[in-house]
Structure 1
């Protein structure tokens, strides 16, 4: 059986947009990675703050715990992920910034008539704190999915497949906006088209079904172009 055409192709059908959270909607990744680096140093792993994002970007807390324990050969304890998540939530409540251009982008996607959901390695508790702090809650209320809470973090595709199932659309009809290789791998393995938000000049993986943009202002026009090619917009 031939695979269905993906959502950005002229013979595809775009029906759902799924967003990662950190680094795509909310600028919280550096804060969480720095907290992870602090925890790593406390356990004896040498991770300076300036390498925190490179080391832990896109990783779920259980994966971070595995890395630290493998490097230090020490157990962090069964409650380490929960304790560190509590630190994340407390930091988010102290203040977090939206990604540049996020409000205009979300308004433009909404005008296209496309439903939106979020699929993240963050917990729902963390995302609630981030979205309240950045006034993004109205866009996503009741449409947030946590790979951490599911117990199946990215790069596994389960959180994206779950979001599509909740919307009752096929994976081929979804576009995912990601910023990390871990998340992009999850989207592609889910059978979805992935748009990767990546600064100009930074490395991009050579994977199929991957489109790169450098700023959020490029995202809605990309979707609009696809809808026009599919005959769904004048």
Structure 2
């Protein structure tokens, strides 16, 4: 299969994950989840919470905690955790290193962008307003797998983003940092750029066709530029 990053392909849309790619919110979110778990009697450290829950939707996390506890939590638990995160992000969300410069560079390339995240739209709006990214992602370009009821690793949110842009999955590249999100991109039939430091293991299913690993966001714009130039001359 020809992907959006192949010289013979056609790159028409860049889809970003939010947390860990654009906004440095995974750490605070996972620490808040760990604190909640400990309040319920579970022994989960902040580091363990990050390894277990990064990239997952809150309903998934609540289900895992219920299984570990051996009983159900109140029905509104996921909602309350999300509201706490919204308030936290309004005050403390910070951009991932290089994210604002990268977004300006992608815009200069003339590439359309969208976001597909396991966060709710309300969470993302709070994060983007706090970090100054709202100019790149108006509401009609923000897509929530959580709000759709199909969290990653299901591919639905990425397929929806492509359909909203009127492009085919093979014309999209997804920028991800988590195993869960990379799996969703793979299932959607999209190329994937995985943002991951050298000292962090790759997903067990890696590499997949059309996949590229970068260690910092400053590598993304040159990669996209080379891709567009190679396709123009193919």
**Structure 2 length normalisation: TM-score?**
0.96
d(CA) in 2 for partners of 1:68 and 1:104?
38
Offset of residue 41 of structure 1 = 1.4
Equivalent residue, structure 1, for 2:93: 96
- How far does the alpha carbon of each residue in 1:169-198 deviate from its partner, in whole angstroms, 9 at most, with x for none? 000000000000000000010000000000
Residues 1:139 and 2:140 aligned together: no
Question: Greater shift after overlay, 121-130 or 104-113?
Answer: 104-113
Residues 1:191 and 2:178 aligned together: no
What SS does structure 1 have at the residue aligned with 2:232? coil
- How far does the alpha carbon of each residue in 1:55-91 deviate from its partner, in whole angstroms, 9 at most, with x for none? 2111101110111011110211211110100010011
d(CA) in 2 for partners of 1:128 and 1:41?
29
Structure 1 residue ranges without an equivalent (≥5): none
d(CA) in 1 for partners of 2:193 and 2:229?
18
Equivalent residue, structure 2, for 1:211: 212
d(CA) in 2 for partners of 1:138 and 1:104?
13
- How far does the alpha carbon of each residue in 1:90-114 deviate from its partner, in whole angstroms, 9 at most, with x for none? 1111221101111111111111111
Residues 1:160 and 2:161 aligned together: no
- How far does the alpha carbon of each residue in 1:205-230 deviate from its partner, in whole angstroms, 9 at most, with x for none? 22313210000000011111111110
Q: Alpha carbons of 1:232 and 1:109: their partners in 2 closer, same or farther (altered >3 Å)? A: farther
What stretches of structure 1 move > 6 A for 4+ residues in a row?
Answer: none
**1:1-234 equivalences in 2 (<5 Å):** 3=1, 5-141=2-138, 142-205=140-203, 206-209=206-209, 210-231=211-232
d(CA) in 1 for partners of 2:151 and 2:233?
34
